[in-house]
Chain A
């Protein structure tokens, strides 16, 4: 319970009176004004004396003819019922809720008879979680089950399968205090053996029953170790007051004597009462709040956040709130999208380059062919020109020749004519 030393702090000595030594008194005063709450669950087959024990523990008639205990209510199925009472002592108010489970273990087939109990505990956790999670939070009544007294029948032979099943299923949801009921049906030796057997089986099945917290106080630790040796506590309860040696005590009258409830040589009732009410009630509440409830809550929220995917492998993720988790996921997604964008951009650029290259090649090819054809045509043109020139030259020459011949012919014919004419004369 030491607060984490996250920020570095310096030790300083006071040079005189300050007054914060009064803080505990302030806390005391405020807690009394606020009042206290406690929810105690009692589980066990009928006839084990649960109601009687409650009445003995709280020295009252929680269960009376008016408000009958679970055994007097005939139930066919296991119910979970609660009784709320307000008790006051020494100026301290306690709102006590006793949750009992009539019908538990009484059926022929008791498989699943723990389910209503589990459901009840979970429902209370859920109520608290919802109240705690509201935007507008108001006074939150705390109905979470802070302690479960589990009654073991005094068979003397060890735990029944039902006992083991029940405790295994509930030890991580609630503080379990196993009790041996009707301890006055066993001798101290039988009781001792029975206790050892039970503790062995509890260890064997790795059942985590409620453990007393370690303290620095040596005296206290000695005391706690003594109690640990006597677990599970064997109790006797009684609604009747009997006179023994001039004293009025709660007890059970037998022909051979009186089994006194508050006699620590007769049973462990006093230890139970002292531990449950006088010394460890607050711790039971704290463990419920800091351990059992937090387990429930983190499981519930992790399921919601990860939609059932088992992300518990990456334990680190659970140390963030779901919102911070989503923020991180969003950032990751942005990075992922950037990468995707880059990749797509690259592919795009590459494809465009390819296409452009192809286009350029086509253009070059086209240009080349055009040049080629142009050259070709020009060559043909020149050839034709040459041929034409040759032809023109040839013709011109021939025509010139012809003209000469014609001229000659003409001259000749003229001369002949002339001669002819001369001859005639």
Chain B
């Protein structure tokens, strides 16, 4: 059904008209009902409780059928949620029931590890619905609603008080799901103890600010029975699929040496009350509350997280299209910015590398220059030496030439002298 809160038929500006005969729109509720029967109903119930507390048995008893039950150990490393879907039919009413069981709840050392998987599961179903709702082409009327409509919280029949795990878990869940606490294995508590236990539990819930599901009292047709039932919370239940012969009938019961606990005997336990409240009277309300309250809260938080607002900074209303458009603009700008940033970074690197390489070139160049100078110096020295040698050679040849000349002269002079002597 589309999201439609209460119709504003209480608007004072609308004039009432009298009808002069039977028009026939009083069939509208029937038309609506016929459609929903055609479509079938769906209900999702989550059972939280320690291993062995009787969750599966209670489900079997409530729905008078034998669901697939798995034995689980106390040594699960973490809490797992096991969801199974069944198609049931009663008279002409088809119900798609999903039973979600916690496996290993309470077996962890750290309590947060116990409740977190449950919170996550519930949120995942909300998220799934929200995603469908936000799609451009969506089919909500065809959507298999997996959101948890009711959460049965199984309280250990200690007879004393709630465990801290119970309080902590329920506090985490009370704004996400309709919590219906039940006292499990109620046949282990005496009547007087039970009464005190119930009072203790309710007062602990109140003092810890835990909001459990209240059966609605705004509809006069059911206000009376709901109010009365609210006073019996939490329901103390016994589950059994075993049947025992009582008088001439077979009844669901648990047989003890000291007596037979009859599941459907209201003086033995509150099973009948639970069934009446949960299924016969308020199933539709549980679905409605999930959709209009818990889901809306999740949606609102999620959208706010994503930056959606109903009004812009000047307090003018903003439409979804405007928000999407703005987001898209922002988004495209961001992508562009990232690209530019990357390019910028690259340009920077290239510049730096270029400078590096230029520096290396310069170094090489200066080395080259240095070597050139060295060579030039050496060459100059060499040239000097060459010149010196040349000079020496020249002066030597001059000496030699001069000496030769002298010798030649003296030789001729001596020859003359000799000649003279010989004369």
Q: Give residues in A with beta carbon < 8 Å to B.
A: 1-24, 26-38, 57-62, 84-95, 129-130, 132-142, 215, 273-274, 277-283, 286, 289-290, 294, 297-298, 300-302, 304-305, 307, 318-326, 329-330, 333, 337, 340-341, 344, 348, 352, 355-356, 359, 362-363, 366, 370, 373-374, 377, 380-381, 384, 387-388, 391, 394-395, 398, 402, 405, 409
Looking at B73-81, B151-159, B186-194, B298-306, the stretch in contact with chain A turns out to be B298-306
Closest Cβ of chain B: how far from A139's Cβ, in Å? Answer: 3
Q: A405 to chain B: which residues have CB within 8 Å?
A: 407
> B360 and A359: CB pair below 8 A?
yes
> A320 and B135: CB pair below 8 A?
yes
CA distance A232 to B263 in the complex (A): 60
> B5 and A138: CB pair below 8 A?
yes
> B306 and A29: CB pair below 8 A?
no
Which 8 A-B pairs give the minimum distances between C-beta atoms? Answer: A139-B5, A133-B320, A90-B26, A321-B134, A26-B284, A282-B31, A9-B85, A19-B280
CA distance A380 to B378 in the complex (A): 11
> A348 and B350: CB pair below 8 A?
yes
In B362-413, the 8 Å CB interface with A consists of 364, 367-368, 371, 375, 378-379, 382, 385-386, 389, 392-393, 396, 400, 403, 407, 410
Closest Cβ of chain A: how far from B217's Cβ, in Å? Answer: 12
CA distance A324 to B134 in the complex (A): 9
> B14 and A95: CB pair below 8 A?
yes
Q: 1/0 contact trace for B74-110 toward A, CB 8 Å?
A: 0000000000111111111101101000000000000
B213 at interface, CB cutoff 8 A:
no
Closest Cβ of chain B: how far from A4's Cβ, in Å? Answer: 5
Q: A321 to chain B: which residues have CB within 8 Å?
A: 131, 133-136
> B134 and A323: CB pair below 8 A?
yes
CA distance A39 to B43 in the complex (A): 32
* CB-based A-B contact count at 8 angstroms: 366
Closest Cβ of chain A: how far from B53's Cβ, in Å? Answer: 22
> B39 and A1: CB pair below 8 A?
yes
Of the candidates B24, B135, B304, B382, the one whose C-beta lies within 8 Å of that of A380 is: B382
> A21 and B144: CB pair below 8 A?
no
B206 at interface, CB cutoff 8 A:
no
Q: B6 to chain A: which residues have CB within 8 Å?
A: 34-35, 139
> B23 and A58: CB pair below 8 A?
yes
> B392 and A391: CB pair below 8 A?
yes
Q: A348 to chain B: which residues have CB within 8 Å?
A: 346, 349-350, 353
CA distance A302 to B320 in the complex (A): 12
Chain B residue with minimal CB distance to A374?
A: B375
Given A14-B63, A24-B93, A61-B17, check contact A377 B378 (CB 8 Å): yes
Q: 1/0 contact trace for B20-58 toward A, CB 8 Å?
A: 111111111111110111111111000000000000000
> A34 and B7: CB pair below 8 A?
yes
> B328 and A326: CB pair below 8 A?
yes
B423 at interface, CB cutoff 8 A:
no
> A27 and B85: CB pair below 8 A?
no
> A23 and B284: CB pair below 8 A?
yes
CA distance A84 to B32 in the complex (A): 22
> A18 and B131: CB pair below 8 A?
no
Q: A30 to chain B: which residues have CB within 8 Å?
A: 219, 284-285, 288
Q: B284 to chain A: which residues have CB within 8 Å?
A: 23, 26-27, 30
Chain B residue with minimal CB distance to A307?
A: B328
CA distance A388 to B247 in the complex (A): 146
Q: B36 to chain A: which residues have CB within 8 Å?
A: 24, 27
Chain B residue with minimal CB distance to A37?
A: B7
Of the candidates A35, A286, A356, the one whose C-beta lies within 8 Å of that of B7 is: A35
Closest Cβ of chain A: how far from B421's Cβ, in Å? Answer: 9
Given A8-B85, A89-B19, check contact A333 B324 (CB 8 Å): no
Closest Cβ of chain B: how far from A313's Cβ, in Å? Answer: 14
Q: Give residues in B with beta carbon < 8 Å to A.
A: 2-9, 11, 13-33, 35-43, 62-68, 84-93, 95-96, 98, 131, 133-139, 141-144, 146, 218-219, 221-222, 275-276, 279-285, 288, 296, 299-300, 303-304, 306, 308-310, 317, 319-321, 323-325, 327-328, 331, 335, 338-339, 342, 346, 349-350, 353, 357, 360-361, 364, 367-368, 371, 375, 378-379, 382, 385-386, 389, 392-393, 396, 400, 403, 407, 410
Q: In this complex, which of A282, A355, A363, A366 has the most chain B Cβ atoms within 10 angstroms of its Cβ?
A: A282
Closest Cβ of chain A: how far from B222's Cβ, in Å? Answer: 7
Q: In this complex, which of A24, A294, A305, A362 has the most chain B Cβ atoms within 10 angstroms of its Cβ?
A: A24
> B33 and A57: CB pair below 8 A?
no
Given A12-B65, A17-B64, A359-B364, check contact A277 B25 (CB 8 Å): yes
What are 16 A-B residue pairs whose CB atoms fall within 8 Å in the complex? Answer: A15-B64, A18-B275, A22-B283, A23-B41, A27-B284, A34-B7, A36-B28, A60-B19, A92-B25, A277-B25, A290-B141, A319-B137, A322-B328, A337-B339, A370-B371, A391-B393
Closest Cβ of chain A: how far from B52's Cβ, in Å? Answer: 24
> B38 and A136: CB pair below 8 A?
no
Closest Cβ of chain B: how far from A394's Cβ, in Å? Answer: 8
> B136 and A322: CB pair below 8 A?
yes
Chain B residue with minimal CB distance to A327?
A: B331
CA distance A321 to B327 in the complex (A): 13
Closest Cβ of chain B: how far from A285's Cβ, in Å? Answer: 9
Q: A22 to chain B: which residues have CB within 8 Å?
A: 279-281, 283
Chain A residue with minimal CB distance to B282?
A: A26
Q: A38 to chain B: which residues have CB within 8 Å?
A: 25
CA distance A8 to B37 in the complex (A): 21
> B328 and A305: CB pair below 8 A?
yes
> A366 and B309: CB pair below 8 A?
no
> A12 and B87: CB pair below 8 A?
yes
CA distance A26 to B331 in the complex (A): 46
Of the candidates A1, A89, A298, A387, the one whose C-beta lies within 8 Å of that of B136 is: A298
> B25 and A36: CB pair below 8 A?
yes
Chain A residue with minimal CB distance to B30?
A: A28
Q: B30 to chain A: which residues have CB within 8 Å?
A: 28
Closest Cβ of chain B: how far from A267's Cβ, in Å? Answer: 17
> A20 and B328: CB pair below 8 A?
no
Of the candidates B68, B275, B357, the one whose C-beta lies within 8 Å of that of A356 is: B357
Given A4-B143, A85-B16, A93-B9, check contact A341 B342 (CB 8 Å): yes
Closest Cβ of chain B: how far from A235's Cβ, in Å? Answer: 15
Of the candidates A14, A135, A373, the one whose C-beta lies within 8 Å of that of B90 is: A14
> A92 and B35: CB pair below 8 A?
no
Closest Cβ of chain A: how far from B189's Cβ, in Å? Answer: 26
> B309 and A140: CB pair below 8 A?
no
> A23 and B38: CB pair below 8 A?
no
> A137 and B296: CB pair below 8 A?
yes
> B300 and A136: CB pair below 8 A?
yes
> A305 and B324: CB pair below 8 A?
yes
Chain B residue with minimal CB distance to A132?
A: B3
CA distance A274 to B368 in the complex (A): 107
Chain A residue with minimal CB distance to B330?
A: A326
Q: A2 to chain B: which residues have CB within 8 Å?
A: 39-40, 142
CA distance A15 to B243 in the complex (A): 12
> A384 and B18: CB pair below 8 A?
no
> B368 and A366: CB pair below 8 A?
yes
> A23 and B26: CB pair below 8 A?
no
> B23 and A59: CB pair below 8 A?
yes
Given A3-B96, A28-B29, A279-B27, check contact A86 B14 (CB 8 Å): yes
Q: In this complex, which of B23, B25, B299, B389 has the most chain A Cβ atoms within 10 angstroms of its Cβ?
A: B25
> B35 and A59: CB pair below 8 A?
no
Of the candidates A87, A286, A305, the one whose C-beta lies within 8 Å of that of B17 is: A87
Q: B42 to chain A: which residues have CB within 8 Å?
A: 3
> B31 and A322: CB pair below 8 A?
no
